[in-house]
Amino acid sequence: MATSSQDLLEAQAHVWNHIGSYINSMALRSAVELRIPDVIHKHGKPITLSQLADALCINTAKTNGLYRLMRILVHSKFFDKVIISHQEEREEAYSLTRASRLLIRDEPLSLVPLALTLTDPAFIGPFHQMTEWFRDECPSAFFTTNGMDHWEFAAKDERLNKGFNEAMAADARFMGSILVQDCKHVFKGLKTMVDVAGGTGEVSKAVAGAFSGLKCIVLDLPHVVARMEGSENVRFVSGDMFEFIPPADAVLLKWIMHNWMDEDCIKILRKCKEAIAESKINGKKVIIVDMVVDEEKQAHELTETHLLMDVLMLAHYPGKERTEREWAKLFAVAGFKNYKITSTLGVNSIIEVFP
């Protein structure tokens, strides 16, 4: 079948676009490191290029480079470009979007730690070893690169451990605020909950704050909870989820299951089932906050995010992002009778799993 020049040129453009996709991430990282969102926010109104360059202490010879960085970030919808009038002259200026407001460092729901950690060389490096990983016996490209898995590496590398914990805490604060605002029904009636691998406990703090009668236990590895201080309603416990999960009315697994292969997920779920076995309430359950891939029904951008995260799992962990059918199989094998999926959390869903 003959291929026209136009078809070839479109194919070339598609190839070039994907070759350069990483540049979007790196441009965003540069903007966060330069604190561009913070500067615009502090300015209090749209900021011109010269004002932005002055505030950032940019080398004047590189002002055009700043313009080019902002141009791609405007195209990526991290900033808006507006026209302002000044002394009868019209000039272009930049303002924040909803996305870049999440990249202001001092905002309660800031995702800056997540943006910096997931674009860090430690996270990008394993992708350079994926070809080798497909031919070796290692469980992940991260293992191929470092000779150990992520958790062993983090226990030995304070910088990665700190950055990863801050990233997960940022995401947890964001998700916790949404959960207590839009998903209160999920926690209604619970008196105790274990937040498995809950890190710094941001979700537990949010949930316990919204439900005065609910007491939460945050379970995580020793190097994660070593410096954590509890409160009346939230306490931290050092332990291994594969060995023991404290008893409670509910067990929360936020962004945990996608790190693990099916066999390990089944082990975790069985430990969760043991943890809620003695609960006397009718609504005892496992609460999973994670992604549910549905390429047929989801919007293209949402599916793309899910598939990107799935390949991130491929590079760093032995886990994956799962479809509903894959989730259902895990629940059945682990001995659970029913589940309910609520798709109201953007790229994530809430899955309530009942014994």
pLDDT at 6 over 90: yes
Q: Encoding tokens for residue 4?
A: 């026209």
pLDDT value, residue 1: 62
pLDDT at 18 over 70: yes
Cβ neighbours of residue 93 closer than 8 Å, sequence gap 6 or more? 46, 47, 48, 49, 51, 81, 82, 83, 84
Q: Please give the single-letter amino acid code of residue 118.
A: L
Mean pLDDT to the nearest integer, 69-92: 91
Tokens 């869903």, residue?
349
Mean pLDDT to the nearest integer, 264-289: 95
pLDDT (tens digit per residue) in 309-335: 999 999 999 999 999 999 999 999 999
pLDDT at 295 over 90: no
Q: Regarding predicted confidence, which is higher, 229 or 100? A: 100
pLDDT value, residue 47: 96
Residue 275 to residue 267: CA distance in whole angstroms:
12
pLDDT value, residue 212: 85
Strands 285-290 and 292-293: unpaired
pLDDT value, residue 131: 97
Q: Residues with catalytic annotation? A: 258
pLDDT value, residue 143: 96
Residue 220 to residue 158: CA distance in whole angstroms:
16
Residue 221: which pLDDT band, with cuts at 50, 70 and 90?
Answer: confident
Instruction: Using DSSP, state whether 48 is helix, strand or coil.
Output: strand
pLDDT (tens digit per residue) in 227-243: 888 888 999 999 999 99
Backbone angles phi, psi at 290, to 5 degrees: -165, 180
pLDDT value, residue 55: 97
Chain-centre distance of CA 331, in angstroms? 23
Residue 222: which pLDDT band, with cuts at 50, 70 and 90?
Answer: confident
pLDDT value, residue 123: 92
pLDDT value, residue 14: 94
pTM for the model = 0.89
pLDDT value, residue 106: 93
**Residue 108: C-alpha distances to residues 101, 114, 124, 166, 176 (Å):** 11, 14, 27, 13, 11
Q: Which of 291, 163, 134 is nearest to 224 (CA)?
A: 163
Mean pLDDT to the nearest integer, 55-68: 95
Mean pLDDT to the nearest integer, 286-308: 90
pLDDT (tens digit per residue) in 156-172: 888 888 898 899 889 99
pLDDT at 2 over 80: no
Residue 41: which pLDDT band, with cuts at 50, 70 and 90?
Answer: very high
Residue 85 to residue 354: CA distance in whole angstroms:
60
Residue 76: which pLDDT band, with cuts at 50, 70 and 90?
Answer: very high
pLDDT value, residue 345: 82
Radius of gyration of the chain (CA): 23
Residue 333 to residue 297: CA distance in whole angstroms:
26
pLDDT at 137 over 90: yes
Q: Regarding predicted confidence, which is higher, 229 or 47? A: 47
pLDDT at 103 over 80: yes
**Mean pLDDT, rounded, of the chain:** 93
pLDDT at 216 over 70: yes
pLDDT value, residue 165: 85
Percent share of the chain, pLDDT over 90: 78
pLDDT value, residue 89: 81
Backbone angles phi, psi at 128, to 5 degrees: -75, -15
Residue 25 to residue 27: CA distance in whole angstroms:
5
Residue 187 to residue 252: CA distance in whole angstroms:
10
User: Which has the minimum average pLDDT: 144-153, 243-252, 294-303?
Assistant: 294-303
